[in-house]
């Protein structure tokens, strides 16, 4: 027998990056009295990961819950909220979350309207038949245009194939920072209109409380004291702490398990409980080796739920043991065994990632949903004490029906100033981009919509920001696999390479600076084959940057003019990954990262270049 659990609502919050999703969740938690009156609370509470706070994006989906009184019945209704990433590279998180909820809040910036990654995340919600509440946020912006934003959002629903019920979406206007919402552009002093809309418009979970227990694992966390935690929504039945379970693995085999500890969510805390019923989002602790997508069920009725499907990766990189002369100086973990263990451990909760061994025991192929997806993994590992080297990102090709080579294409949405439109159009054309749409934004900028091979976007962002003087905005999302677009050149510059081992001097660097832009300052240890700058020349340039000025016994009345360097380009990890050429590697350690040539010896590298030219 199926019933509605009217005491629960399960919702996801989805939005484009920086449309105020995490800030709105903060306000919802505060107004639901999750915190004590005198409790000090940080901003962006849900972005608990250091990388999330630094980058200002949500990377990992997280669960929280609030209790809101229903004004019609007078009873408390628990609202389970899942904060999801807005970046397409973390689509694996989004796809899992949609299996746990019955509806979604779609946040759209009142000035910017729906953006590229709004499209990606919304498509996932609509494809699962979820009811969506549109929240037009940031109503306090001077350039806010809610009517235009609403029309564009409706057009997007239609374009993504929403059914009649989904296109008749409720609309709430909000200011997440001030914690205000309203049914019209006139906002009330609180978020009560938003809470009421969730209670009235999001369907309660329809459950079978008396059927045998069944849950699919949609997320995994780790507890230092109680081991792996399997997170998911109970599909049917009831679970009690200590209950025996059957774990149906992805290959169909069945393993006995026991639900040693059981948690539900309240505010930001996990609350230990003795039992939970269908419709509730729970965490089961003390399991061994459980994986995302597996089903936990009653041992007497072991029936598997559909496994979670996640789109395949489109970009790959080679991770290898650090082979530079500086290997072992700065890292805690650097052996192939430790590297392999860490990469395969990542697969337990990063379902969009793939790891494969190679012919060499010292290197591994790691595939992900984009450069950012892999860059976050690299940054996380270096902070944990790992040191390793990585290759330039490459796209993953596929074979078509007739043996035709297919490559991934992406939608790119660009906003730039009228002065730089010509430069951007030229850059995109060189990378096989096809212009789909172009129009003026209300703020005076120009919007360009492109379809472009993923290859064309590798290493593009830094060049794009330079060309647009840091003012351009680009958002991309995977579109499809299509026929190979032909050869293209991603980088039209070459590297300045250290000639010998030693420590850089101002005198040596000044000679190199005349030939390009430097990446290192004076007094830095370098080794032969390490990239220390960028040159516009036709080929790489080897320079002795450790050379010292010869001293003479000639005395001068005037002191030598002090040599000064014009400026060093300090590269971030993302920029260093983008910079890499096919014959270069990035050495990553907890303290630094260095670009280097695959072949360090200058003479050997020259011979190889000659062989490549005549071969």
Whether residue 84 is annotated as binding a ligand: the answer is no
Instruction: List, in order, residues 6 or more apart from 476 with CB less than 8 Å away.
Output: 88, 116, 370, 410, 411, 412, 413, 457
At residue 196, φ and ψ (nearest 5 deg) are -65, -40
At residue 536, φ and ψ (nearest 5 deg) are -90, 5
Show the tokens assigned to 404: 């035709």
Whether residue 74 is annotated as binding a ligand: the answer is no
CA 97 to chain centre: 15
> Is the separation of the CB atoms in 259 and 273 below 8 Å?
no
Numbers of helices and strands, H then E, in the chain: 15, 38
> Is the separation of the CB atoms in 203 and 103 below 8 Å?
yes
Whether residue 547 is annotated as binding a ligand: the answer is no
Show the tokens assigned to 154: 């409706």
> Is the separation of the CB atoms in 543 and 499 below 8 Å?
yes
User: What is the spatial distance between Cα 100 and Cα 93, in angstroms, rounded to a whole number?
Assistant: 12
Whether residue 454 is annotated as binding a ligand: the answer is no
- For helices 146-159 and 116-127, give the axis angle rounded to 10 degrees: 50
Tell how strand 243-248 and strand 254-259 pair up.
antiparallel
Beta-bridge partner residues of 67: 78
Instruction: List, in order, residues 6 or more apart from 364 with CB less than 8 Å away.
Output: 318, 319, 320, 339, 340, 343, 355, 356, 357, 358
Residue 498, CA distances (Å) to 340, 456, 539, 540, 596 in order: 31, 29, 14, 11, 9
Whether residue 210 is annotated as binding a ligand: the answer is no
Whether residue 113 is annotated as binding a ligand: the answer is no
52: Cα within 13 Å, side-chain hemisphere: 20
The candidate with the shortest Cα–Cα distance to 12, out of 114, 126, 116, is 126
User: What is the spatial distance between Cα 309 and Cα 245, in angstroms, rounded to a whole number?
Assistant: 24
User: What is the spatial distance between Cα 96 and Cα 374, in angstroms, rounded to a whole number?
Assistant: 19
Which residues carry a binding-site annotation? 18-23
Which residues carry a binding-site annotation for GTP? 18-23
């Amino acid at each position: 027998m199926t019933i509605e659990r009217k005491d629960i609502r399960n919702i996801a919050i989805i939005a484009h990056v920086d449309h105020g999703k995490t800030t709105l969740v903060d306000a919802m938690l505060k107004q639901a009295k999750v915190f004590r009156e005198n409790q000090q609370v940080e901003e962006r509470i849900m972005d608990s990961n250091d990388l999330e706070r630094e980058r200002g994006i949500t990377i990992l989906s997280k669960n929280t819950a609030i209790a809101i009184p229903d004004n019609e019945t007078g009873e408390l209704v628990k609202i389970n909220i899942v904060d999801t990433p807005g970046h397409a590279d973390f689509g694996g998180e989004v796809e899992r979350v949609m299996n746990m909820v019955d509806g979604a809040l779609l946040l759209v910036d009142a000035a910017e309207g729906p953006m590229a990654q709004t499209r990606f995340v919304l498509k996932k919600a609509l494809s699962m038949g979820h009811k969506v509440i549109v929240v037009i946020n940031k109503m306090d912006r001077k350039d806010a245009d809610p009517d235009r934003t609403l029309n564009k959002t409706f057009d997007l629903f239609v374009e993504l194939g929403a059914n009649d019920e989904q296109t008749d979406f409720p609309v709430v206007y909000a200011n997440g920072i001030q914690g205000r919402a309203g049914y019209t552009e006139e906002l009330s002093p609180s978020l009560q209109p938003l809470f009421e809309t969730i209670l009235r418009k999001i369907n309660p979970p329809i459950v079978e409380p008396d059927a045998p227990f069944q849950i699919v694992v949609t997320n995994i966390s780790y507890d230092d004291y109680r081991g792996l935690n399997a997170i998911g929504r109970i599909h049917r039945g009831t679970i009690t702490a200590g209950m025996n379970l059957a774990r149906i693995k992805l290959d169909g085999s069945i393993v006995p398990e026991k639900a040693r500890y059981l948690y539900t969510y309240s505010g930001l805390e996990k609350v230990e409980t003795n039992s939970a019923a269908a419709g509730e989002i729970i965490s089961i602790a003390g399991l061994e080796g459980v994986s995302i997508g597996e089903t936990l069920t009653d041992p007497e009725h072991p029936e598997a739920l559909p496994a979670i499907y996640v789109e395949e990766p489109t970009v790959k990189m080679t991770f290898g043991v650090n082979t530079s002369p500086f290997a072992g100086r700065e890292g805690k973990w650097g052996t192939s065994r430790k590297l392999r263990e860490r990469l395969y451990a990542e697969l337990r909760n990063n379902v969009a990632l793939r790891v494969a061994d190679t012919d060499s025991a010292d290197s591994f192929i790691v595939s992900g949903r984009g450069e950012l997806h892999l860059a976050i993994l690299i940054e996380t590992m270096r902070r944990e004490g790992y040191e390793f080297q990585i290759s330039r990102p490459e796209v993953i090709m596929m074979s078509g029906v007739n043996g035709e080579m297919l490559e991934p294409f992406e939608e790119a949405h660009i906003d730039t100033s009228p002065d730089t439109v010509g430069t951007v159009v030229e850059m995109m054309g060189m990378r096989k981009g096809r212009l789909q749409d172009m129009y003026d934004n209300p703020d005076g900028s120009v919007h360009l919509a492109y379809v472009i091979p993923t290859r064309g976007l590798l290493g593009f962002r830094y060049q794009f920001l330079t060309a647009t003087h840091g003012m351009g905005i680009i958002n991309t999302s995977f579109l499809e696999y299509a026929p190979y677009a032909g050869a293209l050149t991603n980088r039209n510059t070459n590297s300045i390479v250290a000639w010998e081992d030693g420590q850089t001097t101002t005198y040596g660097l000044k000679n190199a600076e005349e030939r390009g832009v430097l990446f290192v300052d004076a007094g830095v240890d370098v080794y032969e084959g390490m990239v220390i700058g960028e040159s516009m020349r036709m080929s790489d340039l080897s320079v002795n940057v450790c050379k010292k000025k010869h001293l003479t016994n000639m005395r001068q009345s005037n002191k030598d003019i002090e040599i000064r360097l014009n400026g060093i380009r300090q590269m971030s990890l993302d920029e260093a990954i983008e910079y890499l050429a096919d014959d270069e590697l990035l050495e990553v350690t907890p303290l630094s990262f260095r670009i280097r040539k695959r072949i360090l010896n200058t003479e050997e590298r020259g011979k190889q270049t000659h062989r490549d030219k005549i071969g």
